[in-house]
Amino acid sequence: MLLHTLACCLLPFFMPVVTGHGGKKQHESANVLIVSFDGFRWDYLKRTATPNFDRVRSNGVIAERGLKNAFLTKTLPNHFTIATGLWEESHGIVGNTMYDPVLKEKFVVTNKSAMSDPRWFDVGAEPIWVTNQLQKNNGRSGCVMWVGCEAPIKGTTPTRHIPFDGDMPNRTRIDKIMDWFTGEYPVNLGLLYFNEPDHTAHTYGPESPEVTNMIAGLDDVMGYLLDQLKEFDLLEKTNIIITSDHGFAATSDELMVNLDDYIDPTSYRIFSSNPVAAILPNPGMEDSIYRNLSEGAKKPGAHFQVYKKEDIPPQYHFTHNRRIMPIIVVAKENYSIAYNGSQTHYSQKGEHGYNNSLQDMHPFFLAMGPGFRPGAAVDSFNNVDIYPLMCHLLDLHPAPNNGSLDAVRSLLRDEEEEETTLFTFGTYFFVLLVIASVGGVFAVAACRQHRYLKRMQRNRVISMQGGVQYSIPPANGGAKVPLLSESEEEEFH
């Protein structure tokens, strides 16, 4: 009887693995927690001692040179890119400030009603919190101040949500999300935002001692988060992704591009300026404005580039959207843009938003958890790849996106190797058990009968599912994502 019991306990090692829709074993997938430290540049971890970030690095994975973010390296566009796996032209959040010619309205990040207005966010993109809740019966998402979480998207809002409050202490933010992970109806996905070191780098400059001190302070925040996860027995059950939206460059009021030197300030409207100017010319003025700016950009000592919308290089993924203005002026690194006499000096000591090809615009990336291979590293990858990565970790079908799981596959544990190791161990132990006992024959017979019954049951389940066919988008984003264009009147709801 004892041998029969032991033999049947070993059956899971021999039975074929039943896979889910993602080709993974059907099991309760681990939680995912993604954390963003706004403006945390790719090289900031080298500035000072960071023992808690080092805990993640030594037990997890890293992108050595950080992430390549979306073209306009601003906060809103890149947080929404991380959440959706879409470039700015595809998800429609093309700036912290932007204008929609169909809505005939201007979006400003400080406008709280705009941040919760689905007309700006629900235009075809599917953030990870929506994917999680639409696909999992027990999928619950919690957002602490993450861009886009306030607006209903596909009729869905996060199960738990806290809107932006820059005065909320960092530990309080962590306590909130820990409550959500451990409550009666726990979330399985958390998105957690901190607005530093961005604020400090704007005020004092990214190379300042104040930023170095802030990095050390944020390491303490990281330590508190790890300790809380451990205290609630979640550290080994959670895949933690730690990243940011952009890097930083130093600025000075002596490094200025003044548009008034090239174009009449009454001939256009401008919807963002630093360090990329989005210009909407008055009717009939587009060609002359572009010509004057182009001639100015060719002069010695000019520190900007100018593009007509249709001529923006395709690798920037910043053309096919009605919210992108007809003329874009891009300041060179460290320079700021003044216009219409309103800015003769620029008070901030640091800025971001420059071309994403610049290394100092890139943010950092660390991760650890049961889904990651400890010690693995890559040089860099695109931040659009984080969405398919999160879908993989949560065992979800990715919505159409511009990312690729292949770009980060080397950071992940190989499940097939784990299953092979488990099978081999079970086989070896079972053979020893049979050889060591005279009653082994009876145990084998009992196990065969048990396996037969299990197989019959499984076949019935599979036959019930036989008519269902799943379609998984290709790893590179697959299906073309609908774009917002000037020619289409999209219905907003």
- Catalytic residue numbers read 75
CA distance 94 to 483: 12
Contact 321, 295 (CB under 8 A): no
What sign for the dihedral angle of Cα 222, 228, 234, 236?
positive
CA distance 141 to 149: 10
Backbone phi, then psi, for 90, in 5-degree steps? -90, -40
Contact 353, 359 (CB under 8 A): no
CA distance 151 to 127: 11
Our measurement of the distance from residue 474's CA atom to the centroid of its chain's CA atoms, rounded to an integer in Å, reads 19
Size of the chain, expressed as the number of residues it contains: 493
**251: nearest Cα among 312, 208, 290, 288:** 208
Q: How many CB atoms lie within 10 A of CB 462?
A: 10
Tokens found for residue 170:
């960092």
Q: Which residues contact 419 (CB under 8 A, 6 or more apart)?
A: 17, 25
Q: How many CB atoms lie within 10 A of CB 343?
A: 18
Backbone phi, then psi, for 112, in 5-degree steps? -65, -35
